[in-house]
Amino acid sequence: MLYGRSAEINALDEVIVRARDGSGGAAVLRGEAGAGKTALLDAVAERGGAMRVLRTTGVESESDLAFAALHQVLWPVTGSLDALPEPQRDAVSTALGLAAGSAGDRFLLGAGVLSLLAEAAAPDGLICVVDDLQWVDRASADALLFAARRLGTERIAMLFAVRGDVPVKGVPLTVDVRGLPESAAAELLESRHGVLPAHVARELVTLTRANPLALGEIAARLTPAQLAGRNPLPEPLPGGARLFGDRVAALSAPARLVALVAAVEADLDQVLRATDRLFAERAVRPGENTGAWAGRVALAELEGAGLAGVSGTSVRFRHPLIRSAVHEAAAPADVRRVHAVLAELTADDRRAWHLAGAALGQDEQVAAALVATAERARDRGGYGAAATALARAAELTPEPRARAVRLKDAAVAAWLGGRPGQAESLLAEARERADGDATLATEIARLRGRFELNSGNAAEAVRILAAGESLDMLADAVEAASFVGDTAAVVELGRRAAVHPEGFLRDVVAGIGLTFDGDIAGPGLLRRALARAGELEDAAGYLWATAAASALGESDLATEMAGRAGRVARVSGMTGQLPVVLEFVATAERITGRLARSQAISEEGLALAREAGYENTVAAHLANLAALAALRGEEEPCERQAREALAIAVPHRVGLQAGVAAYALALLDLCLGRYAAAHDRFNAIAAAGPGAGHPTVVWRSAPDRVEAAVGAGDEEGARTTLAAYERWSAHAATAESHALLARCRGLIESSEDAFGEALRLHTNPFEAARTALLLGERLRRAQRPGEARAHLRTAWETFERAGARPWARRAQGELRAAGESGQAPPAAVLDALTPQELRIAGLVADGLSSKQIAARLFLSPRTVEYHLYKIYPKLGIGSRTELARLVVLQKAPVAEDDML
């Protein structure tokens, strides 16, 4: 029976009830050892009624074994693996050891775990209980927490119990499990020891801080006279900090030995085999059991003492503190001997870790075994476990260079596992030990640069990477300089890259630098590189193609290349890099006016970037979301997200993200007709130096800057901006680039011909609508309302469809002034859908099944079906065929592959 926990139970009950109703969620129970977290989990799990319960408990002796906890929790439901999308099924099967191969991206594995839990939740819901999370292996914890953060439409409740201040990222509800209320603590004591004098109960509650475990264990050690208050309570109280030390000491020597083996290895068969072998080594003491049953007799004593028990095929201590007490009571030599014996009885990962536990000093053979363990964990997607194994292998490695290499590899694994802090620490140690080895020092420097670029100071990344001479390192340096906005560095690095042999990457890197330097050879190199775009196979290549198109001033081609990068990244299982790729995809969608889709991609990218620890990518997605809010005229979210992006980007010297965030604020003013304020902000963006602003942002925002300048009455400023824009676009050959130039000329010169030329050239419907609005306004003010109305209506409908509310209101007002009734245009049917629903609708129109959509968007198939269930009544349809027809009829550019 639980005492005094009604508030905690009510909070957890709410999570369970919501999950049963289809609104899944997660909660963390946090408290010190003995506070009653496990008892709460047991009680709440029983209250789930018909809901299925899956459970795992972290075991300290298994905390280094990749996917040990995940195997335990998912094993009962592996029969449902075939219901998963193939990439997710393969990832989970590999992680659980059911199939060979590589699990691929850890995000893919997390999505697979979510899908499998969703299958297990049918039909009555699921409660997934994870106890002692602080000892769950990292690979399992990452996958389970990934799922826990995405339960919104699943009938799943996930409950985690963790000791102390161990961080649990992204789980919104924390239930603090503290000491019992005094009345409940007194009631607990009374239930076990009868009515105690008030002063005795009060003193016990005070001295134990009402910790239920401490209350029960300490009160059981008091004499009847002490409990009755006839004798004072002992000072200190029996049991001490660990509570169980005296009970462990009271065991016989054989039982203490069994307890030590069980503290090192939980598997029952291994415990018995190891103790039999260890007993055979010991000198027999008078009265001790000998022979084959000695271990079983000792285990029975351990169970009889209430310290441990057999659960299935495992030996489990009644409380983790008992395991700690056993370890503290054992001599280090005895612990090493137990590990050595278990190493002889186990294989693969368990053997490697037991060898490490038995090691005294450095040992290359043991280190090599741990490296093999790390490779197996890495292949299964367990990057955190791989980092731990490699770091321990480095400690055991006698040869300095090999130690440095293993530290470097551990840093990479930690980085891919979403632990940038650990990665940087390991890499710093590797750097110290690589002294004198130029090749290894260069590899480490490149990693340092990449780490800085993703989460640290981008200017420092340029400094580190620019010291290299290889093409790959120069390309990384150009990428870093491009994020900073340091054109001089890009030029210098491009010229250094030009001496390397011809090839796609060399042509892009050198071509960008030469183009920025005004060298006529630069655009030719970029054209040659883009001519090879059809040969590209990976997302990184398409991102370089995006950069090449941007350097030529062709934003429409850059948008297309970014879209291809996103598609390839999703289907190739890019390890850890998807959040970065999604920066560019989301931007591309915004530039083409697909605001809902851009929103969904940036929200996804933001969540993934936060999980990966990529701070600069977090800033990128926040800045894009701010720009989207500006286009919708949403002042508060725009200003908030821009501030959050700037708070990361400015100190990190990431000029690109800082520039986009500042652009969002300027765009907000422009959208709302605050031309003077917008003009001032655009001028500030143009004047900002590297790290605070960015040339690409200045170039891409030039049409907006011209419009703001004209609106503010600064004709000279508008002409100056146009002249710069013409120079930036001098090598652009695409129709859209020429259309934007024509629109700028139309604004400055009030030229209907220029506006007409722009409308003929536009390939971007959203930009065409902006031009139509500007032309319509001029025609209406020239007393030609009949000619104005067609342009204004086109603009209004496009802006309404895109969700660009300020421009839609502006177009509507102009249309009414031109004499049209002002009746709203027919609403686009798909406007009723959320960004996520819109993405799913587009993929349905592309012919993808629910499983394929789930694999593409890191969802479960049941989540996709849930969204379809919501979509059909919104649109008044009843089938996928009708949905696909609607998408095609409205020509909604929402599909994942629409740019290919």
CATH number of the domain at 45, please.
3.40.50.300
**Hey, which bits of 165-291 come out as E strands?**
173-176
Give 42-58 as a DSSP string.
HHHHHTTTT-EEEEEE-
What is the average per-residue pLDDT within 786-800?
Answer: 91
pLDDT at 744 over 50: yes
**Hey, which bits of 643-685 come out as E strands?**
none
Q: Are residues 287 and 393 in the same domain?
A: yes
What confidence score (pLDDT) does residue 576 get? 65
Calpha distance 81→72 (Å, rounded): 15
Q: Are residues 197 and 338 in the same domain?
A: no
What is the average per-residue pLDDT within 160-178?
Answer: 89
Q: Is residue 813 part of a domain?
A: yes
Q: Are residues 432 and 484 in the same domain?
A: no
Calpha distance 900→898 (Å, rounded): 6
Q: Are residues 652 and 686 in the same domain?
A: yes
> Of the candidates 125, 151, 176, which is a domain's last residue?
176
Mean pLDDT of the chain: 90
Q: Are residues 579 and 507 in the same domain?
A: no
What confidence score (pLDDT) does residue 794 get? 92
- Tell me the β-bridge partners of 131: 57
Calpha distance 81→93 (Å, rounded): 8
Q: At 159, which helix (H) or strand (E)?
A: strand 156-163
DSSP state of 804: -
Among the ranges 91-95, 189-193, 616-620, 804-808, which has the highest mean pLDDT value?
616-620
More confident residue, 645 or 830: 645
Pairing mode of beta strands 25-31, 314-317: unpaired
What is the average per-residue pLDDT within 741-767?
Answer: 94
Q: Is residue 40 part of a domain?
A: yes
Q: Name every residue whose Cβ is closer than 8 Å to that of residue 373 and which is 6 or more positions away in sequence.
A: 348, 349, 352, 353, 389
765, two tokens = 């419907």
3-state secondary structure 710-761: HHCCCHHHHHHHHHHHHHHCCCCCCHHHHHHHHHHHHHHHCCHHHHHHHHHH
Domain that holds residue 82: 6-176
Residue 431 confidence class, pLDDT cut points 50, 70, 90 = very high
Residue 771 confidence class, pLDDT cut points 50, 70, 90 = very high
Residue 824 confidence class, pLDDT cut points 50, 70, 90 = low
Give 412-470 as a DSSP string.
HHHHHTT-HHHHHHHHHHHHHHTTT-HHHHHHHHHHHHHHHHHHS-HHHHHHHHTT--S
Cβ-based burial of 227 (10 A; exposed 0-12, middle 13-18, buried ≥19) = buried
What angle, 0 to 180 degrees and rounded to 10, lies between the N-to-C axes of helices 555-572 and 539-551? 170
Of 377, 395, 399, 379, whose CA–CA distance to 387 is shortest? 377
* Alpha helices by DSSP H, 282-382: 294-304, 320-329, 332-345, 348-358, 364-379
Pair 525, 510: CB distance under 8 Å? yes
Of 797, 803, 761, 802, whose CA–CA distance to 776 is shortest? 797
> Of the candidates 822, 840, 869, which is a domain's last residue?
822
What confidence score (pLDDT) does residue 893 get? 42
- Predicted confidence (pLDDT) per residue in 118-133, tens digit: 999 999 999 999 999 9
438, two tokens = 């130029």
Calpha distance 221→165 (Å, rounded): 30
What is the average per-residue pLDDT within 280-302?
Answer: 71
Calpha distance 793→799 (Å, rounded): 10
- Predicted confidence (pLDDT) per residue in 463-514, tens digit: 999 999 999 999 999 999 999 999 999 999 999 999 999 999 999 999 999 9
Q: Is residue 565 part of a domain?
A: no
What confidence score (pLDDT) does residue 885 get? 86
402, two tokens = 């090999």
pLDDT at 185 over 80: yes
What angle, 0 to 180 degrees and rounded to 10, lies between the N-to-C axes of helices 715-728 and 702-711? 170
pLDDT at 318 over 60: yes
Pair 605, 617: CB distance under 8 Å? yes
CB atoms within 10 A of CB 822: 12
CATH number of the domain at 770, please.
1.25.40.10
Residue 828 confidence class, pLDDT cut points 50, 70, 90 = low
Of 132, 532, 65, 166, whose CA–CA distance to 317 is shortest? 132
Residue 571 confidence class, pLDDT cut points 50, 70, 90 = low
Q: Are residues 83 and 205 in the same domain?
A: no
What confidence score (pLDDT) does residue 158 get? 96
What is the average per-residue pLDDT within 642-650?
Answer: 97
Calpha distance 542→566 (Å, rounded): 9
CATH number of the domain at 864, please.
1.10.10.10
Q: Are residues 512 and 461 in the same domain?
A: yes
pLDDT at 773 over 60: yes
Q: Are residues 679 and 728 in the same domain?
A: yes
Q: Is residue 412 part of a domain?
A: yes
What confidence score (pLDDT) does residue 104 get? 64
What confidence score (pLDDT) does residue 900 get? 29
What confidence score (pLDDT) does residue 823 get? 62
pTM of the entire structure?
0.85
Calpha distance 431→452 (Å, rounded): 15
User: How many domains would you assign to the chain?
Assistant: 6
379, two tokens = 């292949």
pLDDT at 898 over 50: no
Q: Is residue 618 part of a domain?
A: yes
Residue 97 confidence class, pLDDT cut points 50, 70, 90 = confident
More confident residue, 102 or 585: 585
Q: Are residues 434 and 583 in the same domain?
A: no
> Of the candidates 142, 159, 176, which is a domain's last residue?
176
pLDDT at 237 over 80: no
Give 805-837 as a DSSP string.
HHHHHHHHHHHHHTT---PPPPPPGGGGS-HHH
494, two tokens = 């491009």
Residue keyed to tokens 């106890």 = 131
Phi and psi for 126 in degrees, rounded to 5?
Answer: -140, 140
What confidence score (pLDDT) does residue 284 get? 53
Calpha distance 160→11 (Å, rounded): 14
Biggest distance spanned by C-alpha atoms of the chain: 115
Q: Is residue 554 part of a domain?
A: no
Q: Are residues 234 and 285 in the same domain?
A: no
Residue 570 confidence class, pLDDT cut points 50, 70, 90 = confident
Taking the CA atoms of 9, 15, 18 and 19 in sequence, report the sign of the dihedral they define: negative
518: left (phi over 0), alpha (psi -120 to 50) or beta: left
Residue keyed to tokens 């900002």 = 688
What confidence score (pLDDT) does residue 103 get? 63
Q: Is residue 315 part of a domain?
A: yes
Q: Are residues 693 and 645 in the same domain?
A: yes
pLDDT at 214 over 90: no
What is the average per-residue pLDDT within 143-159?
Answer: 93
Calpha distance 297→290 (Å, rounded): 10
Q: Are residues 478 and 603 in the same domain?
A: no
Of 511, 477, 473, 472, whose CA–CA distance to 495 is shortest? 511
pLDDT at 18 over 80: yes
Calpha distance 670→795 (Å, rounded): 17
What is the average per-residue pLDDT within 215-238?
Answer: 86
Q: Is residue 587 part of a domain?
A: yes
Q: How many CA atoms lie within 13 A of 559 on its CB side?
A: 21
What is the average per-residue pLDDT within 600-616?
Answer: 90
Calpha distance 827→895 (Å, rounded): 20
